[in-house]
Structure 1
Amino acid sequence: MRTSLRPLLVVLVVPLAAALAMVLTAPAPATADRVVIGGHPARMVEAPWTVALASRALFGEKRSGQFCGGAVVGPTTVVTAAHCLSRGVLGMDWRQVKDLRVIVGRNDLRKSDGVEYPTARVWVNPEYEGDNRAGDIAVLTLGVAVPAAYTIPMAGSGDRAYRPGEKAAVYGWGDTQGDGSYASALRTASVQVLADTVCERAYPGNAEGDYDPRSMVCAGLPDGGRDACQGDSGGPLVARGRLVGLVSWGSGCAVAGRPGVYTRISAVADLVAAHG
């Protein structure tokens, strides 16, 4: 799920649980339930650090119980969006979800390959506020280490990967049409890192959201057409081989003038290190 205004799936969407209801309405406030819109199928070997957060008890068996995405940034450390573990998405306190799993190495959620890891520890940023959506980060610690090849480095402050115009890719299993058509197999969409001024104009603090360049990064295409959407929330935005963002929120999916907003990884790297 993308906080939305929408959760992310590669076809441009927003957060998943909330998205199921939101996707039937006009663009609303920014949320993180998106699927990759305007994207194409991805092979897991291309993005082995892309993971699915799942709970069959809450979301059923059909797609392995997937409700959000995430990224592996260390042997036992997975990052995702804080809103993915909110009551708005889960319908309950995340501590009550007894079958929370991180699925690694599974491209098609209808299958049983890859590994489903239980979480040994979960930290959700207590400073995250749904109203302004700043600090949308949560850290899941696995009880068993994943192979080094399944991790991706985080982009630090000043990294070239954040420069406007840099090519980037967003990954997810979210809504691919903006109408609740969730993907079963992993998808990706090619986008561009956009200048902060672009998102500040799009989201100046009105009903559609408030963009904060200190904690957020903006990505999409000037004319729209590619984006994350419902169900993609928490999934990775990657540029220059490094993790630069996590699907967080946006207004609608792949709408011109309404780019996707991501948690800026450099802004939360210290929190990840402290709680990973």
Structure 2
Amino acid sequence: MRIRSRSSVLGPVAALVGALALSVVCPGQAVAGRAVVGGRSVQMSDAPWMVALASRDRFGDARSGQFCGGVAVSRSTVVTAAHCMRPEVLGVDWREVPDLRVVVGRGDLGGEEGQELPVRRVWVNPEYDPRTHAGDIAVLTVDQPLTPLPMAPKGDPAYRPGTAAAVYGWGDTRGDGSYSRTLRSAPVRVLDDARCADAYPSGGDGTYRAASMVCAGLPEGGRDACQGDSGGPLVAHGKLIGLVSWGSGCGEAGSPGVYTRMSAVAPLVAAHG
């Protein structure tokens, strides 16, 4: 089982240590969550609500220090995965990361376009369960205006099985540590809850819960989020329906990606955004 965020690093040798830490799970360079397997490069103008979470102190200057993805849902609010803010990813408590930033408008993480915005407030869901991965949501607040993506409410047709969707991120593109410098997106489909429950039954490395999770991919595999994509968006019908959370492997048949269901956490976002 893999969560889809970058491994933690310690001290000024962040880039090297991060690479070694991540190789335990997925050999190659260090980067957060998953990085869109089977996708293509996209322009930031096509996804202006997409952001990168970054810390140069923890992850080095390469790729702007990116360790997870996120998405703007209001002019000042970004949502991401709760596990992105945990010591297992950051190496320390998030309060000990003074240069935590939300990177906006930068499709190429090796470039200088866009902005690196300081985070004014962080709320991490205290009910997040790292065993089942339920409640995988965190809310970050910034002062400068963002371009938001609307969240799909409960009952929205965007959640229906078979719906065409897309996942976005800067993560691993092949499942072997080949992290992308540029933003990528992969077309997937929302899958039936029964298929996901069969793939991830209770007692495994995670438990699929239809009330708070949604899964997407292709039955034959080949398109998915991967390491480095955690917290990034799953979009359908022009709305945010999920956040990259966890899964088994990257793009493997019978192992779809699992996402935090936005309709289930919308009240938490409203309360803490």
Equivalent residue number for residue 18 of structure 2: none
- What TM-score does the superposition give when structure 2 sets the normalisation length? 0.92
Equivalent-residue separation in structure 1 for 2:48 and 2:64 (angstroms):
17
SS at match of 2:38: coil
Equivalent-residue separation in structure 2 for 1:34 and 1:215 (angstroms):
20
Equivalent residue number for residue 234 of structure 1: 231
Which one-letter code corresponds to 1:16 in the other structure?
R
Q: Cα distance, 1:207 vs. partner?
A: 2.4
Equivalent residue number for residue 68 of structure 2: 68
Report Cα offsets for 1:143-179 as digits up to 9, x if no partner.
2222xxx210000000000000000000000001111
The answer to whether the 8 A contact 2:131-2:205 is kept is no
Q: Cα distance, 1:20 vs. partner?
A: 4.6
Q: Where does the alignment leave 5 or more consecutive residues of structure 1 unmatched?
A: 8-14, 26-31
The answer to whether the 8 A contact 1:37-1:189 is kept is yes
Report Cα offsets for 1:3-23 as digits up to 9, x if no partner.
x4141xxxxxxx112655311
Equivalent-residue separation in structure 1 for 2:187 and 2:156 (angstroms):
19
Structure 1 residues 85-234: aligned runs within 5 Å: 85-146=85-146, 150-234=147-231
Q: Determine if the alignment matches structure 1 residue 273 to structure 2 residue 273.
A: no
Structure with the bigger RCO (C-alpha within 8 Å, sep 6+) is 1
RMSD after superposition: 1.3
Equivalent residue number for residue 7 of structure 2: 17
> Percent same amino acid at aligned positions?
62
Equivalent-residue separation in structure 1 for 2:41 and 2:3 (angstroms):
21
Equivalent residue number for residue 10 of structure 1: none
Q: Cα distance, 1:33 vs. partner?
A: 1.7
Which one-letter code corresponds to 1:170 in the other structure?
V
Q: Cα distance, 1:205 vs. partner?
A: 1.4
Equivalent-residue separation in structure 2 for 1:132 and 1:257 (angstroms):
19
The answer to whether the 8 A contact 1:219-1:260 is kept is yes
**Bigger fraction of residues in strand:** 1
Query: Structure 1 pair 24/207, CA: closer, same or farther in 2 (3 Å)?
Result: farther
SS at match of 1:243: strand
Equivalent-residue separation in structure 1 for 2:92 and 2:153 (angstroms):
34
Report Cα offsets for 1:41-98 as digits up to 9, x if no partner.
1111111101000000000001000000000000000000000000100011000000
**Length, aligned pairs only:** 257
Q: Cα distance, 1:200 vs. partner?
A: 0.2
- What TM-score does the superposition give when structure 1 sets the normalisation length? 0.91
